[in-house]
Structure 1
């Protein structure tokens, strides 16, 4: 979709920025951006109590982020459906962060902590006793998870749907761009295969100039 065809973006104030950038509220905001939902639908999709869903919707309504989309009459209490505009711009000065570093850390670190917890749960399902292997590999020390018999090749390189790779490589600018394009293409390909009834998987792609120590 071209920029001209996109809906107009709303500019967040400081109160809205605090909620829009709250990592814990991102799943709720994302589902309300997709289509309108009732409190009971929000509760069911996000695994919340209906009372908690009403509370969070009230916070978004008070801040002017969520809007009442429709009221559907029914016997007893009418069903209220809420939505959030699909495009927002959050000016840096509205974030309250002192630096860009502080802002990015606040956004990324909670997700990294969650990713570590999810990874450890999956590792624990495969290994009852594990540790670390520090081995010389291609001019540097390589730290790998494993058990006393060796590093966990079957976990990281086998068919288990799990990856936790941190490292560095030396590439020309051309090849670095090619790698980025290929990773994005693979991501786009599998996004088209996404099944709402399938297993949820956490995914992160990190790629930046520099050396991972």
Structure 2
């Protein structure tokens, strides 16, 4: 690989680099070189599956052989993905910018929903929505007929699902953003490779989504 030089993705490469299902593999190979066996072990894949996925990246020029370790029999190849890519919008095949963003956001939202439903079912089998009068209009919240749900949405369980609106000036909204990012950065420094992964989504946009 050529150091920190930027690679510009073509159409085939863009599809692989933006494939949500390949993200764990890309994360591994961007951090440091790995053999197919190491990929299989770390991602808990069958060796045949790992070989197929790494080969797919190599054929497209996304992954490269950076080391060949000699051993008795066939040498062991170690693969890496260059650390910097620019993926042009035009290379993705998306017809609109909205479709381009949807392709990255929606699969993750669907996965988030699936994981969230698992937590809901652990607490109760009967869920619905509560629509109630609030201070400025109506409030819509999830819950059970007996008001279970606080443990998930308001208690200490590490699960948060909240979409709301704030009336802020541009300066206030900018400060709100800076504080959110600062908290995210603070906890990133506490990252524990042996702890379970938690997904965090931070979204802020001017306008009302309902």
TM interval, shorter chain, is: over 0.9
Aligned residue in 1 for 2:138: 141
Q: Which residue of 2 aligns with 1:198?
A: 195
Asked if structure 2 preserves the Cα contact closer than 8 Å seen for 1:133 and 1:151, the reply is no
1:178-197 alignment to 2 at 5 Å? Answer: 178-197=175-194
CA contact (8 A) 1:68 1:83 kept: yes
- TM, length-normalised to structure 1: 0.92
Q: Distance in 1 between matches of 2:75 and 2:19?
A: 30
Q: Note if 1:166 corresponds to 2:198.
A: no
Partner of 1:29: 26
Structure 1 outlier segments of 4+, above 4 Å: none
2:8 to 6, 11, 36: 11
Which of residues 97, 101, 111 in structure 1 aligns to 2:98?
A: 101
1:153, distance to aligned residue in structure 2 (A): 2.0
Task: State the secondary structure of the residue aligned to 2:38.
Answer: helix
1:122 aligns with 2:127: no
Structure 1 residue 151: Cα displacement: 5.4
Partner of 1:69: 66
Cα deviation for residue 26 of structure 1 reads 1.7
CA RMSD across the alignment: 1.5
**Cα displacement string for residues 85-124 of structure 1 (whole angstroms, at most 9, x for unaligned residues):** 0000011221111111111111111111001001111121
Cα distance between partner residues in 2 of 1:38 and 1:140: 58
Note if 1:83 corresponds to 2:88.
no
Corresponding residue for 1:59?
Answer: 56
Q: How many residues align?
A: 208
